[in-house]
Amino acid sequence: MIHLTAGSANELFTAACTAVLDQGRIVKPRGMATTEVIGAHLTLTQPRRRLVSLPPARVLNAAFAAAEATWILSGSDGGWIYTYNQRMAQYADDGVLRGAYGPRMRAWRPGHDQLDHVRRTLLEDPDSRRALIQLYDPDRDIPHHSDVPCTLGYRFYLRDGRLEMHTTMRSQDLWLGFCYDIFTATVLHELMSHWIGAELGHYHHHVDSLHLYDSRLSAARALPDQPTPSRLMDPLTVGWEEFDPLLDSITSGNTPDGAWGDFAHVMRSYRVWKNGDRTDARRMVADPDGVLSEGLAGWYAQLSGRAA
């Protein structure tokens, strides 16, 4: 069991990789060798420092981070997400990711929006222990399909004016999954704290099997001993009634004002990149103000280095 606390995603990710390398044991589920720690509690004290960016060892596709957060929070399971991460399609059945979090969060059944349930619960009873979002569903997930959620659910606790969020995962690929999962989860955390008028508290990430695949061990060992803290993202403020229209606007290709504009900007730039106009895509993030634009510029630099 490991307990780690850090102020930023860069620091938490690096500390978790070090802990798994030092304390992990080799296991081979489905024949794939991993170094695994059973039981991890990772605490991020500044959830707005959410983007992992540790070049050259670990650089994220910031456009996918923005797109996945938008995709999940809007309740979508649409195939448009494959534009940002084509590898996700290999887990789809008939083109659909059956384990997609969004529909389970926003429409478990018709009229059952768990996101709104948490918001209403905490507004009506600030001390509630029932503010939770369930993602794993035996009715859907025990029948065989390719995509089974790694995240079991989210819980929220409002104490002393601060909203704490807890995520529980049955399994976490530390190198690939953690960096994107913590991004989306802390966006959700920040939004909920705004909707209920609370201070943003600590984010808690609980994982049963935290692991690194063998192919990632050398890269994990190359991480810096003292990583630069992740940059602080601008506040993601939007009212509840305006939230879904905002996400619809972003997925339609519009660019809103403020921090959400950085989401739309990197998603548009990456679509340009995928369409083959690499020069224009780079130009769009060449002088980045936003954390995501800076991250995507680093991703393009890494892709260009691989091609070379």
Into how many domains does the chain fold? 1
Residue 294 has pLDDT above 80, yes or no: yes
Residue 81: which pLDDT band, with cuts at 50, 70 and 90? Answer: very high
Q: Beta strands of 190-306 (E only): which ranges?
A: 199-213
Which distant-in-sequence residues (6+ apart) come within 8 Å of 169 by Cβ? 150, 151, 152, 181, 205, 206, 207, 208
* Position 34, amino acid: T
Q: Could you report the per-residue pLDDT of 233-271, keeping only the tens digit for each? A: 999 999 999 999 999 999 999 999 889 999 999 999 999
Compute the distance between CA of residue 68 and CA of residue 57 in angstroms, rounded to an integer. Answer: 22
How many angstroms separate the CA atoms of 27 and 236, rounded?
40
**Domain limits for position 209:** 2-222+231-307
Amino acid identity of residue 168, one-letter, is T
Domain of 293, CATH number, reads: 3.30.572.10
At which residue do the structure tokens 């809007």 appear?
Answer: 74
Residue with tokens 């659910």: 153
Nearest CA-CA partner of 53 in 292, 303, 264: 292
CA 166, CA 155: separation in Å to the nearest integer?
5
Question: What 3-state DSSP class applies to 122?
Answer: helix
Element (H, E) at 185: helix 177-195
The residue-averaged pLDDT of 214-225 equals 96
The DSSP output letter for 96 is B
Predicted confidence (pLDDT) per residue in 157-185, tens digit: 999 999 999 999 999 999 999 999 999 99
Rounded Cα gap, residues 104 and 58, in angstroms: 30
Q: Give me the helix-helix angle, 259-274 and 240-251, nearest 10°.
A: 20
- In DSSP notation, 22-50 reads HH-EEE-GGG--EEEEEEEEEEES-TT--
Q: What is the number of other CB atoms lying within 10 angstroms of the CB of residue 133?
A: 23
